[in-house]
Amino acid sequence: MTEGKRNIIAGLLQEYDIQTAEDIQDALKDLLGGTIQEMLENEMNEHLGYEKYERSSESNYRNGKKTKRIRGKYGEMNIDVPQDRKSKNRKDVRLP
């Protein structure tokens, strides 16, 4: 195992106060949800062509978020899916 991976693991153990296997699963669930959230935000930035809080002359713009429940290997979790003014209703996100 590399030194970088050891540092990441040490940071996770400290951040999440991991004591049990269930604590590990909860930490992974939280990290997965956060990763998906960030990916959706980046996807919206790319879709709109500008970053959050940036001014633009585009007619389409951010319009809040909608909470969705996703299901995956680590259980169910809620994420806030960013919406844009011209968006269509999106179906539930399902993880493999």
Predicted confidence (pLDDT) per residue in 40-96, tens digit = 999 999 988 888 888 888 788 888 899 999 998 888 999 999 998 887 545 545 555
| Assigned token pair, 3 | 């030194």
Instruction: Answer for the pair 69, 92: CB distance below 8 angstroms, yes or no.
Output: yes
User: What's the pLDDT score for residue 28?
Assistant: 92
In 3D space, the residue among 76, 65, 79 whose CA is nearest the CA of residue 35 turns out to be 79
User: What's the pLDDT score for residue 92?
Assistant: 47
User: What's the pLDDT score for residue 87?
Assistant: 73
Helix H or strand E segment including 5: helix 3-16
- Please, which residues have CB within 8 angstroms of residue 59's CB and are 6 or more apart in sequence? 85, 86
Q: Secondary structure of the chain: what % helix, strand, coil (to 5)?
A: 45, 25, 35
Helix H or strand E segment including 83: strand 75-84
Predicted confidence (pLDDT) per residue in 3-48, tens digit = 999 999 999 999 999 999 999 999 999 999 999 999 999 999 998 8
- Please, which residues have CB within 8 angstroms of residue 58's CB and are 6 or more apart in sequence? 48, 49, 50
Considering the entire predicted model, what is its pTM? Answer: 0.73
